[in-house]
Amino acid sequence: MSADEGWSASTESDPETESAESAAGAGAETPHKNARQEVIAVDENDESQGLVNRLDAHTGDGVRHRAFTCLVFDGEGRILLAQRAPTKRLWDTHWDGTVASHPVEGQSQKEATRQRLEEELGVTPDQYGDLRVTDKFEYKRYYENAGLEWEVCAVLKVTLDDTTLDPDEEEIAGMLWADYDHLHDHPAWYRQLRLCPWFEIAMRRDFA
């Protein structure tokens, strides 16, 4: 489905939550780095509702906010799976397809994606030419007792002409090229990878 064809919501909740005060470490001398950042709160139509503290958006009942995920392919139809670093507070060591983050105020989804591709993978704009937005959906998922994601998530795709990579180990612990059709058709065979929920939703919708 293209971005111009509209989008639908997919939400699911879990009772396990944690307050922002607890997640930041009440009384701790060094709060989590997310406590010093902001994300864009949005309504169900992805209209901005102002800025919200990033840690607050990801703890307690959460705050719906704007996000994106980018699926990175090579010329053979393989998707690059990237393992989230063990230092990530949410979905640490899970596998994503491929980068995901939050735009900052005044930044488009494409601009944010280009930035994260370079920062996380060392992929520069001269390595691709077809970055495009293909979908958008809302979802809500809790992660153990550490927090949650409640996002209106844009999906972007890009095919690399040059697959040279220089990953940032603080962001990415491992990488794996996988046949995209095979991954979708046989999810049980990849269960040991523990895929991130937003990627699983994006992939399921992509094949719908």
Which tens digit of pLDDT belongs to each residue from 61-84?
999 999 999 999 999 999 999 999
**Model pLDDT for residues 102-161, shown as the tens digit of each residue:** 999 999 999 999 999 999 999 999 999 999 999 999 999 999 989 999 999 999 999 999
Whole-number mean pLDDT of the chain? 87
3-207, CATH topology level: Nucleoside Triphosphate Pyrophosphohydrolase (3.90.79)
- Catalytic residue of the set 138, 151, 170, 200: 151
**What secondary structure letter does DSSP report for 116?**
H
Of 23, 3, 38, 11, whose CA–CA distance to 136 is shortest?
Answer: 3
Active-site residue, 151 included:
yes
Tokens for 27? Answer: 């009384």
Length in residues, the chain:
208
Whole-number Å distance between alpha carbons of 187 and 45: 30
What pLDDT score was predicted for residue 103? 96
This prediction's pTM: 0.83
Whole-number Å distance between alpha carbons of 124 and 138: 29
Is the per-residue pLDDT at 2 higher than 70? no
What pLDDT score was predicted for residue 145? 87
3-state secondary structure of 171: coil
CB 199 within 8 A of CB 82: no
Q: How much of the chain, in percent, has pLDDT values that exceed 90? A: 81
3-state secondary structure of 50: strand
Domain ranges of the chain: 3-207
Is the per-residue pLDDT at 3 higher than 50? no
**What secondary structure letter does DSSP report for 127?**
G
Q: pLDDT higher for 193 or 33?
A: 193
Q: Where is average pLDDT lowest: 20-24, 81-85, 86-90, 163-167?
A: 20-24
